[in-house]
Amino acid sequence: MDEETREKLDEMKEESVSGGGDRLEAEGKSSQKDFADLIADAMEDVEDGDITKTISVWDTNMAALLHVLDEDDARREEIAGALLDDLDRDEDASEMEKADIIRLALRSGLEGASPGILEEMREARNRQQEQKPV
């Protein structure tokens, strides 16, 4: 292939919508939902009762630890405060109960394992709220 033909091909690739790749592949990617869209859809399913709102785990050690924390106000408040700080939340640690500790620990752990995941969840909540009829 001569240089002029190669330049024309490169120019045509740049001008094409798919950037020179497979057109069907490019169209498929544009129609795929992103992670926040999938979360928003699942949030709708939760609100509709198609997915349970309850989260449960089977863990003997954590059950024992959380039971003891539920009885130890000072330690529970200390842990709640650390989790609130970690999540940059302004709530009263002394008001946190066992369910709050679990919720905060889950969020903190997920954010630590996958930075930005909580922002994606907030974005999903915003999208879901925008789709609701007024």
With H, G, I as helix, E, B as strand and everything else as coil, classify residue 126: helix
Q: Do 59 and 111 fall into the same domain?
A: yes
Contacts of 23 by beta carbon, 8 Å cutoff, 6+ apart: 16, 17
Q: How many domains does the chain have?
A: 2
Q: Do 45 and 109 fall into the same domain?
A: yes
Identity at 89, one-letter amino acid code? R
Contacts of 110 by beta carbon, 8 Å cutoff, 6+ apart: 117, 118
- Angle between the N-to-C axes of helices 35-48 and 117-131, in degrees from 0 to 180, rounded to the nearest 10: 60
Q: Do 60 and 122 fall into the same domain?
A: yes
Give the per-residue pLDDT at 7.
Answer: 72
Q: Do 61 and 103 fall into the same domain?
A: yes
**Per-residue confidence in pLDDT tens, the chain, 134 aa:** 677 776 766 666 666 544 445 555 555 554 678 999 999 999 999 999 999 999 999 999 999 999 999 999 999 999 999 999 999 999 999 999 999 999 999 999 999 999 999 999 999 999 988 887 76
The CA distances from residue 90 to 77, 81, 127, in Å, are: 14, 10, 24
Give the per-residue pLDDT at 17.
Answer: 47
Q: Do 27 and 71 fall into the same domain?
A: no
Report how far residue 64's alpha carbon sits from residue 59's, in angstroms, rounded to the nearest whole number.
Answer: 9
- Tell me the Ramachandran region of residue 87: left when phi exceeds 0, alpha when psi lies from -120 to 50, beta otherwise: alpha
Range of the domain at 18: 1-32
